[in-house]
Chain A
């Protein structure tokens, strides 16, 4: 976008980049807030239907569409209570830290091909690192509330998030190994085409890793059955007990925004991101080959696809919350250390070996076993250089391109469409 501004409006570089950054941030903030709003509506409606009641039916028509807006207005107008025993500066700043951490994760999350605020080579790494920062907000909030119950919630949160970062990270590393890059846009592009290009169906190890990822995602965002930090029946509201009004809104928003991010990340890593089960954009001819605007339209469709997948993940988490009871803290840590970590480690080893001997997905391995010109070493070296230059993955990419429908990569390859190998 900055280039656009420079080209068309001949604005100075610093201004162009600043405006581009602000626009990006604004859009992402809108998405984050909307995800919180829609998440809240989803939560209330889905939970109501599961519990055999109607849910919100008044504000904004029969389905209560405007309820989140009403809630937001109400919470803004609430009295700002700071408990007497609370540590005022920390108490006030904690929710914002939480939200900032989650919002930073949005900066690296791609919504479509090339549509990402920060196109980082180490996008996956950045996202995981920043998501882990939200624990500061929770621990600070719990500690500074001046209440033992809040402190309990904060301590449990610390233990839980720190523990679950390991299997979560390992799941992401598994996909990085399989795809050969930490660039999230690349990972999305590599899954272009039909649903069997998704990394979910790449090999049995990624398939299992997806379910481990789901469990770890639920745990790292404090959703039931792992919602001890905010265990309502034991700790009233855990670390959020003393927060009311606008500060509570920030915690709430950051929770739903985080759910959207991890769902989106899961959709991107395993479910093709913006590439749907059916490549509608390609089938309709909405690619950049034909016209830049059509390509933009195709990207828009992809973005909608991505958002739908993220919301499906969100719905699944809501469904899970209202079905299962809560696990105890020792059971949560046991699940992490005794089940998630060994399983995902084994899957990682399996996926690495698979990538070494049979690069390309299950379909490629089954259908074209002899189309791998590169030696195993040539293939592995680029894979091991994570975070390296894009071109170092070229050899590996070539191998993939010969076995898969070719990838449409942003600004790198020429006019290549799908199913190129028939043309080669």
Chain B
């Protein structure tokens, strides 16, 4: 098939003599993966930013056209590899939406526990790496220490620490082992003081505030126009969380839970949990608020997990078994977005009557977050680039698929 030959990108070569063209290469400690950002700078001031992606493209969507929906589940782990359970959940729910399959309450409560635990784990990485990119190495160690405990819990339940393939369409692989719920609670109990430590070292740290407050301020209209979702959108003051406002098959997972959407509407956060004071210099929509929303979401998730553990213990019935391996899909399409830690993760499956989907589409939130970088980073200093990229909390696995 003859396709047009596109010349390699030549827009970068018309550099004026007073400018420098710098490549924040695919290999860089703070681009959170293989992201290449080409900067034009005048001294330390960045005048234009062009992100290039595709270094981790593994043709995930094409592979889905060859495997059944259950066989495809491990591929979803590798999308946002820091929150594999949420990716599994998104895929599982999309299949269930397509098939019209509804799971029992007990399965839903277990899914809430797992999804929120993974949300905590992912936000811990985000917080630690933001500190790391700003030069603060210690919180990174502490957040990873806590993340290890969560990964140990996951290893007990499904045998894997990163690529879980646990939340299958129709149910879960296996129920939790003996005493697992008690260990979850124990983890949450010892985790609360650590959050205070992180607030002391990062959130309320004068240097951290200096580096991140009013840096990369994203106005809400721009955020929505560029398709930003999740903590990035909420930090700009937009009250939107798809766990509350999404499709019924997803929101019924969170029915009956007491929780509030974390967004600085009117400059104030919901006060169901106490939070440290907001510095004067921080503007709604800047990097500090994006970081802070994640810290508050961690606390929020802890509350949700505690509620879910009670509900799971009280729920009657059994956990659902997953659908059969070669289940035939109807000749229809279904698209579902779920609230992954990084933003809204959308999966679409179009079936054609056989067990293999005709088309699968993966819509990731970090894809849109990287696309807004050129807009955000005009006129900042080079040292602000890692701050902004870290506050966006991108992961290249889901951008490139």
Q: Does A touch B (CB under 8 Å) in the complex? A: yes
Q: What total count of A-B pairs have CB within 8 Å?
A: 80
Chain A residues with CB under 8 A of B138: 47, 50-51, 322-323
- A324 at interface (Cβ–Cβ under 8 A)? yes
B114-149 vs A: 1/0 string, CB under 8 Å?
Answer: 000000000000000001111111100110010000
- Do B44 and A233 touch across chains, with their CB atoms under 8 A apart? no
- Do A327 and B132 touch across chains, with their CB atoms under 8 A apart? no
Stretch at the interface among B201-209, B282-290, B345-353, B355-363: B201-209
- Do B29 and A232 touch across chains, with their CB atoms under 8 A apart? yes
Closest beta carbon of chain A to B202's beta carbon, Å: 8
- Bound-state Cα–Cα, A322 to B210, Å: 18
- Known A-B contacts A224-B135, A227-B135, A323-B138; the reply to A328 vs B211 at CB < 8 A is yes
- Do A225 and B207 touch across chains, with their CB atoms under 8 A apart? yes
- Do B211 and A327 touch across chains, with their CB atoms under 8 A apart? yes
Contacting residue for A228 out of B28, B131, B383, CB 8 A: B383
Give the one of A51, A224, A322, A328 with max B CB within 10 A: A328
B135-177 vs A: 1/0 string, CB under 8 Å?
Answer: 1111001100100000000000000000000000000000000
Q: Which of B184-205 contact A (CB under 8 A)?
A: 201-202, 205
Chain B residues with CB under 8 A of A233: 29-30, 132-135, 386
Question: Secondary structure at chain A's binding surface: helix, strand, loop or mixed?
Answer: loop
- Bound-state Cα–Cα, A165 to B44, Å: 22
- Do A328 and B381 touch across chains, with their CB atoms under 8 A apart? yes
- Of chain A, the residue at the smallest CB distance from B43 is A155
- Bound-state Cα–Cα, A266 to B385, Å: 36
- Do A323 and B211 touch across chains, with their CB atoms under 8 A apart? no
Closest beta carbon of chain B to A332's beta carbon, Å: 10
Q: Which of A46-104 contact B (CB under 8 A)?
A: 47, 50-53
Chain A residues with CB under 8 A of B297: none
- Do A324 and B386 touch across chains, with their CB atoms under 8 A apart? no
- Do B383 and A323 touch across chains, with their CB atoms under 8 A apart? no
Contacting residue for A329 out of B22, B44, B145, B202, CB 8 A: B44
Chain A residues with CB under 8 A of B142: 51-52
Q: Which of A96-149 contact B (CB under 8 A)?
A: 148-149
- A330 at interface (Cβ–Cβ under 8 A)? yes
- Bound-state Cα–Cα, A51 to B142, Å: 6
Contacting residue for B131 out of A149, A152, A325, A330, CB 8 A: A325
- Bound-state Cα–Cα, A233 to B28, Å: 8
User: Which residues of B pack against A, CB within 8 Å?
Assistant: 20, 22, 28-30, 44, 131-138, 141-142, 145, 201-202, 205, 207-208, 210-211, 381-386
Nearest 3 Cβ contacts at the A-B interface = A326-B135, A51-B141, A325-B136
User: Which residues of A pack against B, CB within 8 Å?
Assistant: 47, 50-53, 148-149, 152, 224-225, 227-228, 231-234, 236, 322-331
> What are 11 A-B contacts with C-beta separation under 8 Å?
A47-B137, A52-B142, A149-B22, A152-B22, A152-B44, A231-B135, A234-B30, A323-B136, A326-B135, A329-B381, A331-B211
